[in-house]
Amino acid sequence: MPTRKYVKPDERVGLKLTAAERRLLLDDVMWLDDEYSDAIRQTPASQSVELTLEQWDDFGGYIAAEANHTKDRKLEKKLDALFDKVQGLLATHTDEKPPKIVKIKDAKKANLLTPAGKKAKQPQKKTASGTVFQFKITLLGIEPAIWRRIQTKDCTLDKLHEHIQAAMGWTNSHLHQFIINDVIHGGPQLLDDGWEETPPVNSRRTKLSKIMPKDGRRLSFQYEYDFGDGWEHEVLFEGFPPAEKGVRHPLCVEGERACPPEDVGGPHGYQEYVRAMANPRHKQHQEFLEWNGPFDPEKFDAQAATKEMRKGLPDWRNEEEWI
């Protein structure tokens, strides 16, 4: 991995925007915060727009949100390209202070050596980026397995749901719930659904740090998506990996195989779909091809999954229909 340039947290970093990119941001991105639109307008066209890394990260979020909501495919591609440009800037800079290098002759003064000349026990340092949670998500009922390994900072179960959707490749078109230690956690749209017994715990108010084992021991729980097709996932909490300097989260570390198409009929329907798509002579091959286009069940790209996780989901709670 190339060395990232260190900048102070309040130091501004410049990004050159073309005239077309400036017009795009000022005319087509509806939700761009005033501080960013003002920065663009006040910066001469010949100069780079300067913001802190935190602001650039937030700036990218506005672009991603607009890309997720627009129905104009040309505009979406332009916004995606601009989002990649911002991510490229973030990937080459870091605002995490590099560790201080202590010379050998100063080791005793720095308490790296005891008076007896033995190496002193180093205190465990807390990273500025905070605690990282790691999960492995496996789709049940499918062989070979479809799975993802993701990392995220502390967040709500509701946000973890979004990360799982983006990393797996689902489109968040249906209801979902978590089952953790026999307790159901769900979104507000589930809470007033006529539950005769105890309603689900509100996943928008439940943070990972409150329910994951604080000692980092593994915990397996269930994530269900689309109660019609019945997609069940095992979510395995794998502990707290060390936070690496310059690495931003959320992150899809690795995974295997493509996500099934939505509304394919659950595990059984998916297996039939894969068989039909693999055989041009299958009676349903052309029907499935026209329905969903070409499909490669082995295709997966962790970098692309990370990009989708960072873009996030559209404002799905405002959707009128749920299944």
Q: What is the pLDDT along the chain (323 residues), one digit of tens a residue?
A: 457 788 888 899 999 999 999 999 988 776 677 888 889 999 999 999 999 988 898 788 778 767 766 778 888 889 889 988 998 898 888 877 665 554 545 444 444 444 444 444 433 333 334 799 999 999 999 999 999 999 999 999 999 999 999 999 999 999 999 999 999 999 876 655 666 577 789 999 999 999 999 999 999 999 999 999 999 999 999 999 998 877 889 999 999 999 999 999 999 999 999 999 999 999 999 999 999 999 999 999 999 999 999 888 765 555 444 44
Structure tokens at 18: 């073309």
Of the candidates 108, 124, 128, the one whose C-alpha atom is nearest the C-alpha of residue 116 is: 108
> Whole domain around residue 59: which residue ranges?
5-94
Residues 16 and 80 in one domain: yes
Q: Which pLDDT does position 69 carry in this prediction?
A: 67
**Domain-ending residue, one of 94, 112, 140:** 94
Contact 59, 90 (CB under 8 A): no
Q: Which pLDDT does position 227 carry in this prediction?
A: 93
Residues 82 and 138 in one domain: no
Residues 89 and 182 in one domain: no
Residue 14, domain member (yes or no): yes
Residues 156 and 67 in one domain: no
Residues 202 and 314 in one domain: yes
Phi-psi category of residue 319: left, alpha or beta, with phi > 0 → left and psi -120 to 50 → alpha? beta
Residues 251 and 311 in one domain: yes
Contact 204, 156 (CB under 8 A): yes
| pTM for the model | 0.66
Residues 66 and 196 in one domain: no
Residue 168, domain member (yes or no): yes
Residue 277, domain member (yes or no): no
Residue 43, domain member (yes or no): yes
Partner residues linked to 93 by β-bridges: 5
Residues 61 and 194 in one domain: no
Structure tokens at 174: 């249906």
- CATH number of the domain to which 232 belongs: 3.10.290.30
Q: Which pLDDT does position 239 carry in this prediction?
A: 96
Residues 163 and 308 in one domain: yes
One-letter-per-residue 3-state SS of the chain: CCCCEECCCCCCEEECCCHHHHHHHHHHCCCCCHHHHHHHHHCCCCCCEEECHHHHHHHHHHHHHHHHHCCCHHHHHHHHHHHHHHHHHHHCEECCCCCCCCCHHHCCCCCCECCCCCECCCCCCCCCCCCEEEEEEEECCCCCCEEEEEEEECCEHHHHHHHHHHHHCCCCCCCEEEEECCEEEECHHHHCCCCCCCCCEEHHHCEHHHHCCCCCCCEEEEEEECCCCCEEEEEEEEECCCCCCCCCCCEEEEEECCCCCCCCCHHHHHHHHHHHHHCCCCCCHHHHHHHHCCCCCCCCCHHHHHHHHHHCCCCHHHCCCCC
**Domain-ending residue, one of 48, 68, 94:** 94
Structure tokens at 276: 């039909």
Q: Which pLDDT does position 128 carry in this prediction?
A: 37
Number of domains in the chain: 2
Q: Sign of the CA dihedral 173, 202, 305, 253?
A: negative
